[in-house]
A and B are shown apart, each in its own frame.
Chain A
Amino acid sequence: MGLELKNLYDDFRDGNTIKAYAKIIKEDAKKLKNQINIMEVCGGHTHTIMKYGLPQLLPSNIKFIHGPGCPVCIMPKERIDHAYVLSMVEDVILVTLGDMIKVPGSNGSLQDARSRGSDVRFVYSPLECLKIANENPTKKIIFFAIGFETTTPMTAALLDAVIKKDIKNIFFHINHVTVPEVMRELIDSRDEHVDSYNNKIDAFLGPSHVSVISGSKIYEEFPRDYNRLVVVSGFEPVDVMQAISMIVKQFIEGRCELEIEYKRLVTYDGNLKAQELIERYFDKRDLFKWRGLGNIPKSGLKLKPEFKEYDAEIIYKDILPIGEIEDHKLCICGDILRGMANPPECTIFGTACKPTSPIGSCMVSSEGACAAYYKYGNLR
Chain B
Amino acid sequence: MNKTISLACGNGGEENNELISKVFYKAFKNEILEKSEDAAIIHNGKLAFSTDSFTVSPLFFAGADIGKLAVCGTCNDLAMMGAKPKYLTCSVIIEEGFATRELDKIVRSMKKELEINGAIVVSGDTKVVPRGSVDKIFINTSGIGEVIKKGISSNNISKDDIIIVNRDIGCHGAAIFVAREGIEMTSSLKSDCESLYPQVKALLDANIKITALRDATRGGVSAVLNEWASQSNICIEVEEESIPVSDEVKGICEMLGFEATALANEGTFVLAVKKEDADKAVEILKGFPSCLKATTIGKITDTHLKKVILKSSWGTSRFLDTPSGELLPRIC
Contacts and interface: CB of A to CB of B under 8 A. Distances in A.
A220 B328 CA distance: 35
B318 A3 contact: no
A162 interface: no
Given A1-B186, A6-B247, A115-B7, A366 B330 contact: yes
Contacts of B14: 355-356
B186 A2 contact: yes
A5 B332 contact: no
A44 interface: yes
A50 B318 contact: yes
B254 A8 contact: yes
Contacts of B184: 1
Interface in B1-53: 2, 4-8, 14-15, 18
Contact of B328 (A9, A122, A148, A151): A122
A111 B326 contact: yes
Given A111-B7, A379-B317, A148 B332 contact: yes
Contacts of A376: 318-319, 321
A139 B332 CA distance: 28
Interface string B172-204: 000000000100111100000000000000000
A101 B328 contact: yes
Interface string B113-124: 000000000000
B203 to A, nearest CB: 32
Interface in B303-332: 304, 307, 309, 312-319, 321, 324-326, 328-332
A366 B258 CA distance: 11
B250 interface: yes
B328 A53 contact: no
A307 interface: no
Interface string A61-84: 000000000111000000000000
Contact of A112 (B2, B185, B187, B331): B2
Given A3-B186, A50-B318, A51-B318, 19 more contacts: A1-B186, A2-B185, A3-B251, A5-B250, A6-B251, A19-B314, A53-B317, A71-B331, A99-B329, A99-B330, A111-B8, A111-B326, A112-B2, A115-B4, A115-B7, A124-B181, A367-B330, A375-B321, A379-B319
- By size class, the interface of chain B is 35 or more
B332 A3 contact: no
B245 to A, nearest CB: 11
A150 interface: yes
Nearest to A53: B316
Interface residues of A, number: 54
Contacts of B181: 124
B252 to A, nearest CB: 8
Contact of B185 (A3, A124, A366): A3
A116 interface: yes
A333 B297 CA distance: 37
A99 B328 contact: yes
Given A53-B318, A111-B7, A146 B331 contact: yes
A72 B314 CA distance: 31
A52 interface: yes
B49 to A, nearest CB: 30
A268 B286 CA distance: 52
A215 interface: no
A9 B254 contact: yes
Contacts of A6: 247, 250-251
10 nearest CB pairs, A to B: A53-B316, A15-B313, A5-B251, A376-B318, A18-B314, A377-B319, A15-B314, A56-B316, A98-B329, A98-B328
B248 interface: yes
Interface string A31-75: 000000000000010000011111011000000000000111000
B128 interface: no
Interface string A343-366: 000000000000110000000001
A265 B280 CA distance: 49
A124 B329 contact: yes
A99 B331 contact: yes
A377 B237 CA distance: 14
A151 B6 contact: no
B317 A98 contact: no
Contacts of A5: 247, 250-251, 254-255
Nearest to A357: B2
Contacts of B241: 15
Given A3-B186, A19-B314, A97 B326 contact: no
A4 B14 CA distance: 33
A22 interface: yes
A54 B241 CA distance: 17
A4 B255 CA distance: 11
